[in-house]
């Protein structure tokens, strides 16, 4: 790769005040790579107010305002993410989302009513809803990806998603089953299949996406996470045993391992140790999960290509992002959720500041693809049922 | 919507135009009077000529804090501008985004945001204290009696087959006597329910846990009383006091209202946290259980008042119920109402499904005094 040049540094103060049109990048000679750094200009205080007001409105309307709240929250994050002097836009129609929410709500309401009241034949109703959900899950993921892509706009062009139904059932059905049947050995393969499906189906205007990664990269992530978990678990175990012996020695004047098992748990030191071990395991799980999330994001960004001329590059440190993720989770728990907006802004700011778009052409030369209308049903289902799409 | 001849001065907004067919950005101005005209400015080869639409065809996207405004143009184009005031004037003229514009004003100000939060607290408190119980009562009252009968039948089947209860060890004559007396309570309680008294052994061997001295009502009018409670009583008046309390739960439809309240709290939790099965739903389980206990305490007081009314009418005093409540609390057959001293509300009040027994006895005494 030739040394990246930056012909149009983005003036963020200008973008923030949005005073005028951004200059077009100067047409570069062929094969000259232009680098457009991404940036996030959202502010914690500003977003806190938006988040809180929309939360209040959702509650006061008994949830009916929820689609508008979701759209505004997302619009804030898309709108404050900039590439080459232009921001993204989330253009979902809240009314469409409301229809989807209500439909999913009816299904879930039927299911929980069957579980709660156990009227005659409830097993059939609950089983039917659960089975329907299981069978439709890959299809809903595909619908959700289509809706999400279609609702994302940059420089006046919509993204799109063209992944097939069969592909969805392979990546989200067969691959997930294989991951379970193989006791997790095929889990990174499933991750790969899902990222590949997501990126390959993506379009910006008419420019198709391509995933340059392979299963190997995700196996590396999976093994590292496994190593982290096992290593950390051993560390906690050794430290815990050491602490128990030391406390025991301090209390009885020598290691007393002959005592009754019941006695063991009545000692305050052991109780403290058990709580510490529990918190340690919780933290370990959090770190491993944050690692997979951060490393996958980095891997996907670094292997993403659009139309053969645009690539993304992530230069953030995975360890730092894990640190931010774990810190954010702790802050949210301690503040009873009030620091959620601050945490989200903090993460977005770090990720955007260390992500660049590399292009062989001016970003102003993309053409629109065919327009489609998307149903919000899959989006509503994946959001309400908390299905993790992965990115 | 035809626009009336505008008394306003024409607006001129500068910004960026996208035609929706390409990612190319054109510097442009948008002039809005009675109509709208878009002109690409600056040296731009291949620029589209001036475009014209009626001003009412422009759609302003709702404003977001810290971002430039977007106007959607007919034919898929868009115009982005930092001229916030101008777009607001357009919104006013064409009456767009009135609700979301208000939301944006709330979001923009700390006092309004915090005020809205205080309003939320008040709303939630009011809804949980008055709204939800009223809704649940209405739903319970609207449930047909045939549904309640089914509920009774299936619950008794479950209790009998799961070894919680065994057949009563009382003699057939004693059982018939109690049922005869209960029939009088049932006649008094009324409401079109099919009252019947079931006597059961509450401590059968092999039960997962012992119910002990207890009585409970099912929504359709079935009242279950254990042999252990009968043994604890020193007179049948005391037992009738307890049974009148249970019919109070039946006529108040407390059991069903409790189920509806639980469902309402679950739905509300979902609306607030925005997901159905996420971690936040689990976090909401504890406050929800505490609220349920509060509703349950209120229902107990209501049932006590019904029992008090029956006892006053039948015996002229609420003393029998007071005595057996004290005996249930102390688990001592020799105890009576004077064995319990009224104390300040216990600190664990939130965790109780029933009001403090001393408080209940005090309340029953007040009912008797009020009747004199």
Chain B residues with CB inside 8 Å of A16's CB?
66
Pairing of strands B222-226, B196-201: parallel
CB contact under 8 Å between A365 and B23, yes or no, is yes
Contact list in B for residue A49 (CB cut-off 8 A) is: 65, 106-110, 113
User: Which residues have CB under 8 Å from B205's CB, separation 6+?
Assistant: none
Which of A123, A111, A118, A121 is closest to B158 using CA atoms?
Answer: A118
- What pLDDT, on the 0 to 100 scale, is given for residue A119? 66
Instruction: Please tell me the distance in Å from B70's CA to the nearest CA on chain A.
Output: 10
Instruction: Give me the pLDDT at residue B342, please.
Output: 54
Chain B residues whose CB is inside 8 A of the A160 CB are: none
Residue B329 confidence (pLDDT) = 84
Cβ–Cβ gap A384/B275 under 8 Å: yes
A389 neighbourhood in chain B, CB within 8 Å: none
From chain A, the residues in CB contact with B61 under 8 A are: 89
B21 inside 8 A of chain A by CB? yes
Measured from the Cβ of residue A272, the count of other Cβ atoms closer than 10 Å reads 13
Q: What is the pLDDT of residues B269-319, one digit of tens each?
A: 665 555 444 444 555 566 666 667 777 888 889 999 999 999 999 999 999
Q: With a cut of 70, list the residues of chain B below it in pLDDT.
A: 1-8, 43-44, 162, 207-208, 268-291, 341-352
Question: What is the predicted pLDDT for the residue at B70?
Answer: 94
Residue of B24, B47, B72 to mutate, interface with A, max A Cβ within 10 Å? B24
The pLDDT value recorded for residue A3 is 40
Q: How far is A321 from chain B (nearest CA, A)?
A: 22
Pick the CATH number of B11-108 from 2.30.29, 2.60.120, 1.10.530, 3.30.390: 2.30.29
- What's the confidence (pLDDT) of residue A12? 39
Q: Please state whether the predicted TM-score (pTM) of the whole model is above 0.95.
A: no
Of B16, B18, B124, the CB nearest to A59: B124
Furthest-apart CA atoms within chain B: distance in Å: 108
Residues of B in contact with A118 (CB under 8 A): 154
> CA A181, A184, A185, A187 torsion: positive or negative?
positive
Decide if B67 touches A, using CB distance below 8 A.
Answer: yes
What local confidence, expressed as pLDDT, does residue B61 receive?
93
A366 to B16: CB separation less than 8 angstroms, yes or no: no
Q: Does B138 contact chain A (CB < 8 Å)? A: no
Residue pointed to by tokens 């005090």? B362
Q: Which of B239, B219, B245, B209 is nearest to B156 (CA)?
A: B219
Which among A89, A116, A384 is the nearest to B263, CB-wise? A116
Q: Please, which residues have CB within 8 angstroms of residue B31's CB and are 6 or more apart in sequence?
A: B10, B11, B12, B13, B37, B38, B39
Walk along chain A (391 residues) and give the pLDDT tens digit of each residue.
334 444 444 443 344 444 344 444 445 455 689 999 999 999 999 999 999 999 888 878 877 898 999 999 999 999 999 999 999 999 988 988 888 888 888 887 788 777 766 666 777 888 888 888 889 889 888 988 988 888 999 999 999 999 999 999 999 999 999 999 998 899 999 999 999 999 999 999 889 999 999 999 999 999 999 999 999 889 888 887 787 777 767 666 544 454 454 555 555 666 777 777 777 888 888 899 899 999 999 999 999 999 999 999 999 999 999 999 989 988 888 887 789 999 999 999 999 999 999 999 989 889 888 766 667 676 776 665 555 554 4
Structural domain boundaries in chain B? 11-108, 143-371
């Amino acid at each position: 790769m030739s040394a990246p040049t930056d012909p149009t540094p983005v003036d963020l103060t200008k973008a923030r005040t949005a005073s005028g049109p951004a200059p077009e990048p100067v047409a570069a000679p062929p094969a000259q790579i232009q680098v457009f750094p991404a940036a996030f200009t959202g502010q914690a205080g500003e977003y806190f107010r938006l988040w809180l007001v929309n939360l209040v409105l959702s509650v006061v309307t008994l949830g009916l305002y929820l689609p508008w709240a979701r759209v505004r929250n997302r619009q804030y994050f898309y709108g404050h993410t900039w590439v080459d002097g232009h921001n993204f836009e989330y253009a979902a129609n809240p009314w469409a989302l409301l229809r989807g929410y209500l439909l999913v709500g009816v299904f879930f309401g039927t299911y929980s009513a069957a579980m709660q009241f156990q009227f005659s034949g409830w097993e059939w109703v609950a089983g039917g809803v659960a089975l329907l959900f299981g069978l439709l899950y890959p299809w809903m993921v595909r619908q959700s990806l289509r809706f999400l892509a279609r609702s994302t706009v940059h420089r006046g062009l919509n993204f799109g998603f063209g992944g097939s139904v069969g592909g969805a059932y392979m990546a989200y059905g067969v691959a997930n089953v294989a991951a379970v049947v193989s006791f997790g050995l095929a889990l990174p393969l499933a991750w790969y299949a899902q990222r590949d499906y997501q990126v390959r189906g993506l379009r910006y205007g008419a420019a198709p996406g391509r995933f340059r990664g392979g299963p190997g990269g995700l196996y590396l992530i999976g093994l590292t996470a496994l190593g982290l978990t096992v290593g950390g678990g051993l560390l906690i175990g050794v430290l815990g045993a050491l602490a128990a012996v030391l406390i025991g020695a301090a209390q009885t004047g020598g290691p007393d391992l002959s005592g009754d098992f019941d006695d063991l748990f009545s000692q305050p030191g052991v109780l403290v140790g058990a709580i510490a071990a529990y918190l340690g395991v919780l933290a370990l799980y959090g770190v491993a999960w944050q690692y997979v999330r951060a490393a996958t994001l980095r891997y996907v960004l670094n292997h993403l290509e659009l139309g053969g001329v645009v690539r993304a590059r992530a230069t953030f440190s995975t360890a730092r992002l894990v640190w931010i993720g774990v810190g954010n989770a702790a802050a949210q728990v301690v503040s009873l959720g009030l620091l959620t907006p601050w945490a989200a802004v903090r993460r977005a700011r770090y990720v955007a500041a260390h992500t660049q778009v590399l292009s062989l052409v001016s970003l102003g030369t993309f053409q629109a693809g065919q327009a489609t209308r998307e149903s919000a049903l899959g989006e509503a289902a994946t959001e309400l049922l908390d299905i993790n799409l992965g990115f | 919507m035809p626009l009336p001849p505008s008394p306003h001065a024409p607006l001129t907004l500068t910004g960026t135009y996208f035609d929706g067919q390409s990612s190319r950005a054109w510097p442009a101005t948008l002039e809005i009077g009675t109509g709208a005209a878009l002109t690409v400015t600056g040296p731009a080869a291949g620029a589209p000529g001036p475009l014209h639409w009626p001003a009412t065809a422009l759609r302003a996207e709702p404003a977001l804090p810290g971002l430039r405004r977007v106007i959607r143009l007919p034919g898929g184009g868009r115009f982005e501008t930092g001229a916030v005031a101008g777009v607001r004037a357009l919104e006013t003229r064409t009456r767009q985004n009135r609700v979301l514009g208000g939301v944006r004003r709330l979001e923009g100000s700390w006092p309004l945001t915090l005020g809205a939060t205080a309003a939320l607290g008040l709303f939630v408190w009011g809804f949980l204290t008055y709204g939800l119980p009223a809704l649940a009562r209405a739903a319970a009252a609207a449930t047909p009696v045939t549904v309640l009968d089914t509920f009774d039948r299936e619950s008794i089947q479950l209790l009998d087959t799961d070894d919680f209860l065994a057949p009563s060890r009382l003699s057939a004559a004693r059982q018939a006597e109690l049922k005869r007396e209960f029939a009088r309570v049932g006649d008094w309680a009324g409401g079109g329910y099919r009252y019947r008294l079931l006597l059961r052994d509450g401590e059968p061997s092999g039960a997962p846990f012992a119910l002990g001295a207890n009585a409970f009502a099912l929504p359709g009018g079935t009242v279950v009383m254990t042999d252990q409670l009968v043994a604890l009583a020193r007179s049948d008046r005391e037992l009738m006091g307890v049974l009148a309390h249970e019919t109070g739960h039946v006529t108040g439809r407390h059991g069903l209202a409790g189920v509806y309240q639980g469902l309402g709290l679950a739905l509300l939790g979902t609306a607030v946290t925005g997901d159905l099965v996420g971690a936040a739903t689990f976090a909401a389980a504890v406050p929800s259980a505490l609220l349920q206990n509060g509703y349950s305490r209120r229902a107990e007081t209501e049932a006590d008042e019904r029992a008090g009314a029956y006892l006053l009418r039948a015996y002229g005093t609420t003393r029998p119920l007071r005595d057996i409540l004290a005996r249930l609390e102390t688990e001592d057959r020799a105890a009576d109402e004077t064995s319990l001293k009224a104390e300040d509300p216990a600190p664990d009040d939130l965790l109780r499904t029933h009001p403090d027994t001393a408080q209940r006895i005090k309340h029953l005494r007040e009912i008797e005094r009020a009747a004199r």
